[in-house]
A and B are shown apart, each in its own frame.
Chain A
Amino acid sequence: DGGITQSPKYLFRKEGQNVTLSCEQNLNHDAMYWYRQDPGQGLRLIYYSQIVNDFQKGDIAEGYSVSREKKESFPLTVTSAQKNPTAFYLCASSIEVLSYEQYFGPGTRLTVT
């Protein structure tokens, strides 16, 4: 079964700790994305990657970091510098950046207290 997996579904952390969210895809897609969703709002792009070892900042990259060492994996680290980290995080992929269809994972709900 092809798709995108994000783990865990729920994540709790103490303020001041870095936390890494996992995103894995077996769709053989080149492009991958991270979005943040706050209650009552649409998605906002954090980072995206067009190919391995390359990634670009989105609209709200401050306080986040990513890596793309493998085509299948695009982990997101929420650092202690992110002022309001509590949110729902969605990972997506597409065949390439110009593809019009993005496939989304089930999301990770991060709560920082």
Chain B
Amino acid sequence: AQKITQTQPGMFVQEKEAVTLDCTYDTSDQSYGLFWYKQPSSGEMIFLIYQGSYDEQNATEGRYSLNFQKARKSANLVISASQLGDSAMYFCAIRDNYGQNFVFGPGTRLSVLP
């Protein structure tokens, strides 16, 4: 069975600073995908970034980057130059490459301070 652990229930960051949200995972699959989603207070889930288990380079999407350390089973999200609009819940998720099992972590609530 797959599992996602997010050990930071809440994080604070000053506006314009960078922040790292931790995610570790457990899987017996050789091929899998890792995802980060943002959930603002309105409730919708917004896809941020994806990393495939065979991708050698860390994924980047604008101000988001994924620090992928496969041997440590770690997939941390780095947000650079934080903005007030980044305040939200952030979820890490894993999916096997058969697409049938999509497992989310408990989330981290990020608060960006002015």
Contacts and interface: CB of A to CB of B under 8 A. Distances in A.
B12 interface: no
Interface string A24-56: 000000010100000011111100100000001
B4 interface: yes
Contacts of A109: 43
Given A42-B91, A106-B43, A100 B50 contact: yes
B104 interface: yes
B93 interface: yes
Nearest to A41: B106
Interface residues of B, number: 24
Nearest to A106: B44
Give 8 nearest A-B pairs by CB, closest first.
Answer: A42-B104, A97-B99, A104-B45, A107-B43, A98-B99, A43-B104, A100-B50, A106-B44
Interface of B: 4, 33, 35, 42-47, 50, 52, 91, 93, 95, 97-102, 104-107
Interface of A: 31, 33, 40-45, 48, 56, 88, 90, 92, 96-107, 109
18 contacts: A41-B106, A42-B91, A42-B104, A42-B107, A43-B45, A43-B91, A44-B104, A45-B101, A56-B100, A90-B44, A92-B45, A96-B99, A98-B97, A98-B99, A99-B99, A101-B47, A101-B50, A102-B47
